[in-house]
Amino acid sequence: MGRITLQDVHKSFGPVDIIKGAALDVADGSFVAFVGPSGCGKTTLLRLIAGLEDVTSGRILIDGVDVTGVPPARRGLSMVFQSYALYPHMSVRGNIGFALKMAGLPKAEISRKVEAAAGTLNLTPFLDRKPRELSGGQRQRVAIGRAIVRHPKAFLFDEPLSNLDAALRVQMRLEISRLQRQLGTTAVYVTHDQVEAMTMADTIVVLNAGKIEQCGSPLALYTTPCNVFVAGFIGSPRMNFISGEAAGKYGAATIGVRPEHLRVARNGDGWPGVIMAAEHLGSDTLLYVNAGAAGTLTARSVGELQLGAGDRVSLAPESAHIHRFDEFGRALRV
């Protein structure tokens, strides 16, 4: 079991409110990602769940039990830190087995469990090495091994892949997802990389300035964002926002169109503009277009478009994919 419930959790550092009333229910066995810009409070929220920070007010429940005042050691959670936080004076074996040793398990059982965890993560040949003798990816595996070995109620990941190179990041992303599914353990994952969140999580929690803006499945956040912030944060390249007369036509203060929902034509309907820059990625072409009153728009077309800077184009939004927002930035539903 590993159900985590946050009830109106507030956290302040002195006069500064970091978390302004978070309410969330993380279902047992689910993979939840916290995303948001730097300083939005996502890591603080994770540390509050871990017990590494004290809540200012509100309650945190794990499997229905109030753990608000319970020290981290007794919450039954595991955490993987951004810096890996391996014990440098211990071998890989010592690192993975540390939590079991603290729990007072017999040596033979610790050894058996450590070897099983190391086997799962392909770390068996490195069990007697010190962390400094390992590569970045291997260290990351040790940190994960340390988390899985004790069969916690939930895994807490604090931007665990941010120190790895792009290729290794993709590989580890897949491994973490596979491992979480295999173990069926609840996972709360903090990242600023929305691709990571979209590809790994069942549920994404978007945070902004200490508040939960929206919580839902990756696709729900993409298709029906609740406000301008979420609409702009989810999706890459970010959504285009157009205000003024063009938005008024749709009965909104602002409309949003994702780059992939703008049809590009040399001559046609839509907003006329001049290409400022073009990025030819092979699979896609990204165009940055100065569209006059509509502003600077980004368009994405599948495949290669023979267009470049200075070319005139028109951008037409797909009507089914126009997002409408009121003057407060809230989404307008039909």
The residue among 73 and 293 lying less far from other proteins, judged by its C-beta, is 73
The residue among 99 and 313 lying less far from other proteins, judged by its C-beta, is 99
In the complex, least distance from residue 83 CB atom to other proteins, rounded to whole angstroms: 5
Q: Which helix (H) or strand (E) holds 257?
A: strand 254-257
Local structure of 4: helix, strand or coil: strand
State the residues that interact with other proteins by CB under 8 A.
50-52, 71-75, 77-79, 81-83, 85-89, 98-99, 102-103, 146, 150, 156
In the complex, least distance from residue 80 CB atom to other proteins, rounded to whole angstroms: 9
CB 44 within 8 A of CB 11: yes
In the complex, least distance from residue 89 CB atom to other proteins, rounded to whole angstroms: 5
The residue among 99 and 207 lying less far from other proteins, judged by its C-beta, is 99
Greatest Cα-to-Cα distance within the chain, rounded to the nearest angstrom: 75
Euclidean distance between CA atoms 177 and 312, whole angstroms: 44
In the complex, least distance from residue 17 CB atom to other proteins, rounded to whole angstroms: 19
The residue among 189 and 271 lying less far from other proteins, judged by its C-beta, is 189
In the complex, least distance from residue 120 CB atom to other proteins, rounded to whole angstroms: 18
The residue among 185 and 298 lying less far from other proteins, judged by its C-beta, is 185
Residue of 111, 55, 43, 112 lying closest to 80 (CA atoms)? 43
φ, ψ of residue 279 to 5 degrees: the values are -115, 120
Euclidean distance between CA atoms 208 and 210, whole angstroms: 5
- Residue 70 has what DSSP assignment? S
